[in-house]
Structure 1
Amino acid sequence: MALLSHKSQPIGPENLENWDHIGSGGFGHVYKARHKDWGFDVAIKILHDGVSLQKGSRVWAEANFMETASCEYVLRVYGIYQGPVQGLPLRQGIVMEFMGKGSVQSLLEDLGSPPPWPLVFRLAHEVALGMNFLHSRKLMHQDLKPCNVLLNDDLKAKLADFGLCRISASASCKNKETEEETGGTYKYMPPEAFDLSYEPVRSFDSYSYSILLWSIITGKEPYPAARYNQVEVRIPLGDRPPLEHIDQQKVEGLKELVDLMQRCWDGDPSKRPTFKDCLKVTEEVFLMHKKGVSHAVHQVLTRLESQTGTQRENNNVALSFLSLTPDQPNLNDLVDGRLMETKGTSIQASVSVSDKRMSRKEKAKFVDDNRAELTRVISEVMAITEELGDMVHDEAYALIRAQPTSMKKMRELYQGPLRSGGEVVKAAFFDALKKHHPRTVERLGG
């Protein structure tokens, strides 16, 4: 049954209360609200003005894919929203299950380290279950990464954001993604996907799963300082995230999970295991640690609740540096955009991030000094702009929102409110930036 053709009435403003903005995406904004009749919270993905929910549109396809793929490990869709949103005129959106603990990405950022091992193994298994279900329905995800694996109040995982999802039998990828548009997605793309003539198949998702596994196991972002053009060159040449600091003997089942990860990131798509094959491994290693999951979840939730504001626990991050080829750096040799000399041998270095208390003047200077890099990498521009509140006038807000890309939005924000508002606005921008992009702020020394 097609989601947008069913006979039930759309969900309107009269059905919802206690609206709260919780994030932004490529199509618009995500809100949390309480459904008055159902008695529980839902998430509403409100689309930008001009983005269509009509039959045949990309978002219509996304909603229907989510409906088709609805299961315990994939985010549920409840219906379609139509109506005004917080003073804005008529808007459309998708009403979905609300996941109260964010995503795997926010979990790793908040912890500043990998989750406890029982939770690592459960997350690996739940993602594999969700992906196997998608593939059984002849669907692909094509954007599997930590921010698209959402967590409920018990830290159970569900797949979300089907913005790139396609029916696998007819999938095509005709437009090369640029660094500006992908915002990190390219780090999870398989080597063959950098070929303009590539047509995605299910092994695309298997590769993305392997990089996701690495992030969960290590608690880190892959190639944190690498740009699109570097990844585009090095991944087809065989570069992958480093394994040197993963002690495979540290816990039972880790060796098997790392072996699966390496098979999934094989350069030959035909050699990558299917998700049905992955489940044989993930279920076995999960069952080894199932009894410890409840304690691990309680441990993590207690730690998250003890944290305040946007502060992140800082840790020393061990990085491995490998020898360079004559003309191209290894992706794992990049730290804060600079190359580390290795002299042909493996060495180790630690990057320590201090917990600073910055003055308003120091925050403003950080915003000015890092203008070029922030313009290039920041994706949550509208969410940050909204947190500035009355510091951004309606006309400036409309100009920022009208820009077609994140980079252009950032340029408009710099040229308008940040330039005219002085230290006060820049300091407020810094605080919002640290909330939405803490790793970027830390990387730049903030």
Structure 2
Amino acid sequence: MALLKYKTEPVGNESLDKWELLGSGGFGEVYKVRHKDFGFDVAIKILRDGVCPFIPNEKALHNEADHMKEASCEFVLRLYALYHGCPPIRETALQQGIVMEYMRRGSVQSLLDYLRGPPPWPLTFRLAHEVALGMNFLHIKKLIHHDLKPSNVLLSDELHAKIADFGLSRVSTSALNSNRETTGVDGGSYKYMPPEAFEASYKPCRAFDRYSYGILLWSIVTGKDPYSVADYSLVALRIPMGDRPDLEEIDQTKADGLEEIVKLMKSCWDKTPSARPEFKECLEVTENVLSKHRKGIRVAVNRILKRLESPTSNEHSETFSFPHQRLERSESNDVVDVGFIATQMSSMQDSVSVPAERMIDADKAKFVDEKKKTLIQDVSDVMAVVDELDDMVHSETYSVIEAEKTSQGKMRALYTRTLRSGGEKVKAAFYDALKKHQPHLVERLGG
């Protein structure tokens, strides 16, 4: 296929250096590469043959490049050129790829995984707003993304959101004159797919993206994967029946504007496609909520960047736990000077915790009791923690815990058989072991 649409020639190996494979999967490979002429790193995506059903590999790449070029804006990943050559770190035939921005901060998904929970509130609300800005721009350009999820929202050096992965994007063929905007190709990630998408006759429309945005909002606010233990068959059965992510995971009193965000996500995942708000309507909500937290953004971002650059710095003295009070504002809706620092701290979801060595056993035991529900859900390396307790866990109990198939089951058994009746000493020992093996979880919960 000739590359006549592009003013510049495809980039070849002679312009590229320092190839590094960033990731691979069913879609193909993504490489980090230094562009010799540009003087900075770029990312090159090469699709695997057959990744898009019924579309030849070369055409799929050109479609994705066309859509990226059409959707070029501040909140969408930038396209630089097409690639034509053989990646030197793999023995392959001549291939074509897309040369695009390299986002060294990863994705929203990788950030949530690293934090083991949600970002500080100002960053949470900024991400929500910037994703809505990017998606609104795509829809204005008559494009459907069709695969919106945390791993497809990449992060700039300053943690701004950029929408990526247009492999499933299609032009909305009837966007100008009909509500029936078809793409002709099914796809997407099933946890972010709307109920109607599980029907065999479904043809995607822009309401697909609006539903996905609602689920993505829930993921960012909670820091969790929706339906974490459900496989495709269960999701495909239950979502059309009305199941949605658990809103009990969200305490709507913990941040100013959070109630509005929860209301928005519920509107976006409405079972009726036509009832889901347009992204222009979403922007009105997210911009208003973000305006209440702007003064905390720089501090929040700097704290996250510091942790990303130096993962062990201040590890035992800071946490990103949810505050229990709303922001207090004056009658003029401006933050009073006296309360500015406190407002920043609240809007960051940030609090200073007492170092573990200074906490008395009673405080540790109180933490273990109060956080029971969350700990049962979120502790992953249970047996490592149990091993630290040594003879505090009876040998019979150890066998029962070990026999449980899930982390949640192991934690329930530990609480039932040991922690419930173990007293402050045992609970304090459990706290110390948890702090050792899952420090970020303890920090997130304010311990």
TM-score by length of 2: 0.66
Q: Could you tell me the percent identity over the aligned residues?
A: 58
Q: Deviations over 1:134-183 (max 9, x none)?
A: 00000000100000000011111000001111112265466766xxxx6x
Structure 2 counterpart SS, 1:107: helix
Q: Does 1:32 align with 2:59?
A: no
Structure 1 256/38 Cα, relative in aligned 2: closer, same or farther at 3 Å? same
Q: Post-superposition shift, 1:37?
A: 1.1
Cα distance change, pair 357–91 in 1 and its aligned pair in 2 (3 A): farther
**Cα shift readout 1:349-403 (whole Å, capped 9, x = no counterpart):** 6232237779xxxxxxxxxxxxxx9xxxxxxxxxxxxxxxxxxxxxxxxxxxxxx
2:381 is matched by which residue type in structure 1? Answer: S
Residue 151 of structure 1 is aligned with which of 155, 158, 161?
155
CA distance in 2, matches of 1:15, 1:210: 41
C-alpha distance in 2 between matches for 1:109 and 1:4: 42
Match of 1:116 in 2: 120
1:353 to 380, 396, 399: 380
State the 1:306 CA deviation: 2.8
Structure 2 distance, partners of 1:140, 1:108, is 25
**Aligned with 1:88: secondary structure?**
coil
The residue number in structure 2 matching 1:130 is: 134
Match of 2:237 in 1: 233
Q: What's 1:20 paired with? A: 20
- Partners of 1:3 and 1:63 within 8 A in 2: no
Q: Describe how 1:282-293 pairs up with structure 2 within 5 A.
A: 282-293=286-297
Please identify, of 288-297 and 135-144, the stretch whose mean Cα deviation from structure 2 is larger. Answer: 288-297
Confirm or deny: 8 A CA contact 2:19 2:32 kept in the other structure: yes
Determine the C-alpha separation between the residues in 1 that align with 2:278 and 2:7: 37
Distance 1:238 1:87, change over 3 A: closer
Deviation at 1:285, TM superposition (A): 0.7
- Shift of the alpha carbon at 1:87? 4.4
1:265-344 aligned at under 5 Å gives the runs 265-307=269-311
Determine which of 59, 76, 79 is the counterpart of 1:77.
79
Give 5+ residue unaligned stretches, structure 2.
Answer: 175-180, 313-318, 322-371, 386-405, 407-447
- Give me the whole-angstrom Cα distance separating, in 2, the residues matched to 1:141 and 1:120: 22
Cα separation, partners in 2 of 1:15 and 1:356, compared to 1, 3 Å:
farther
Matched residue count: 321
Corresponding residue number in structure 2 for 1:409: none
Q: Distance in 1 between the 2:252 and 2:7 partners?
A: 54
**Distance in 2 (alpha carbons) for counterparts of 1:19 and 1:196:** 42
Moved more, 100-109 or 83-92: 83-92
The amino acid of 1:48's aligned partner reads: R
The one-letter code matched in structure 2 to 1:291 is K
Q: 2:91 is matched with which residue: 88, 106, 115?
A: 88
Match of 1:140 among 144, 166, 187: 144
| Most deviating of 202-211 and 15-24 | 15-24
Whole-Å separation in 2 of the counterparts to 1:3 and 1:281: 42
Q: TM-score, normalised by structure 1?
A: 0.66
Deviation per CA, 1:229-286, whole angstroms, max 9, x where unpaired? 1111111111100111311111111111111111111111111100011000011111
* Alpha-carbon displacement from aligned partner over 1:93-121 (angstroms, at most 9, x marks no partner): 10001111000000000110100000000
Deviation string 1:36-85 (CA, Å, 9 cap, x unpaired) is 11111110112336889989822211111111001100001100111121
Runs of 4+ in 1 over 4 A off after TM superposition: 49-56, 170-177, 355-358
Q: Partner of 2:68 in structure 1?
A: 66
8 Å CA contact 1:214, 1:241 repeated in 2: yes
Tell me, in whole angstroms, the C-alpha distance in 1 between the residues paired with 2:381 and 2:51.
42
Distance 1:12 1:175, change over 3 A: closer
Letter in 2 for 1:78: Y
Cα 1:355–1:110, aligned 2, differ >3 Å: closer, same or farther?
A: farther
Matches of 1:275 and 1:50, distance apart in 2: 32
Mean CA deviation greater in 347-356 or 35-44: 347-356
Query: Residue by residue, what CA displacement relative to the aligned partner does 1:213-236 show, whole Å, maximum 9, x if unpaired?
Result: 000000000000101111111111
The Cα of 1:212 is off from its aligned counterpart by 0.3
Is the 2:171–2:183 Cα contact (8 Å) retained in structure 1? no
Any conservation in 2 of the 1:83–1:91 contact (CA below 8 Å)? yes
Cα deviation per residue 1:408-436 (whole Å; 9 max; x = unaligned)?
xxxxxxxxxxxxxxxxxxxxxxxxxxxxx
- The answer to whether the 8 A contact 2:185-2:203 is kept is no
Which structure has the larger Rg? 2
Rounded to whole Å, the distance in 2 between the matches of 1:306 and 1:121 is 24
SS in 1 for 2:299: helix
Structure 1 pair 235–3 and aligned structure 2 pair: CA distance change class (3 A): farther
Matches within 5 A, 1:332-411: 348=373, 350-351=376-377, 352-354=379-381
Instruction: Map Cα deviations across residues 279-300 of structure 1 (whole Å, 9 max, x no partner).
Output: 0001111111111111111111
8 Å CA contact 1:249–1:255 kept in 2: the answer is yes
Alpha-carbon spacing, 1:189–1:49, altered in 2? closer, same or farther (3 Å): closer
Tell me how far apart the structure 2 counterparts of residues 124 and 355 of structure 1 sit (CA, whole Å): 33
Secondary structure of 2:118 counterpart? coil
Aligned residue in 2 for 1:47: 47
For residue 108 of structure 2, what is the aligned residue in structure 1? 104
For the Cα contact (< 8 Å) 1:23–1:31, is it kept in 2?
Answer: yes
Relative to 1, partners in 2 of residues 1:102 and 1:55: Cα closer, same or farther, differing over 3 Å? closer
Aligned-pair Cα RMSD in Å: 3.1
Q: Which amino acid aligns with 1:39?
A: G
Query: Which residue of structure 2 aligns with residue 400 of structure 1?
Result: none
